[in-house]
Amino acid sequence: MGRKIAAVVCGFFAWWVVATILNWLMRLGWPGYAEVEKAMDFTLAMMAGRLVVGALSSLGAGAVLGVIAQRSGRTATVGGLVLTAFFVVVHYYLWDKFPVWYHAAFLISLLPLVVLGARLSTRQSAGALPA
């Protein structure tokens, strides 16, 4: 049980680490992104980039979670649900900053991408190549 709790906590932390690094890279490499970030006045391409950052962060969180939990699909689901519940609250406060499709794409993708990341990591750690 302790391993599963640690996996969820570490997965949550991993989401933030990956997102922070990728967001920093977007600020560095995308002219204009850093200037509009504070006001959240993003272009369509910037919103798509942010969704990619979220997707990669979710996959990374799932991978960390999967390695620690050692093949526990339920733990990956719990980790994905924890992230989703957290971000539902965050997006409630950001509702007027983004279009509905952006919120939906981000929130709906969290759980399946975390679970996918966990599955891919457990396949890798078992020595099999992902399908």
CB 65 within 8 A of CB 118: yes
Tens of pLDDT, residues 55-99: 999 999 999 999 999 877 899 999 999 999 999 999 999 999 999
Q: Which of 117, 19, 11, 89 is nearest to 27 (CA)?
A: 19
Tens of pLDDT, residues 5-39: 999 999 999 999 999 999 999 999 998 999 999 99
What amino acid occupies position 33?
Y
Distance CA 47, CA 88 (A): 17
CB 40 within 8 A of CB 90: no
pLDDT of residue 131 exceeding 50, the answer is no
Distance CA 39, CA 65 (A): 33
Domain ranges of the chain: 2-125
Conformational region of residue 53, where left means phi above 0, alpha means psi within -120 to 50, and beta covers everything else: alpha
Q: Look at the block and give the residue holding tokens 């690094």.
A: 21
Tens of pLDDT, residues 95-118: 999 999 999 999 999 999 999 999
Tens of pLDDT, residues 35-62: 999 999 999 999 999 999 999 999 999 9
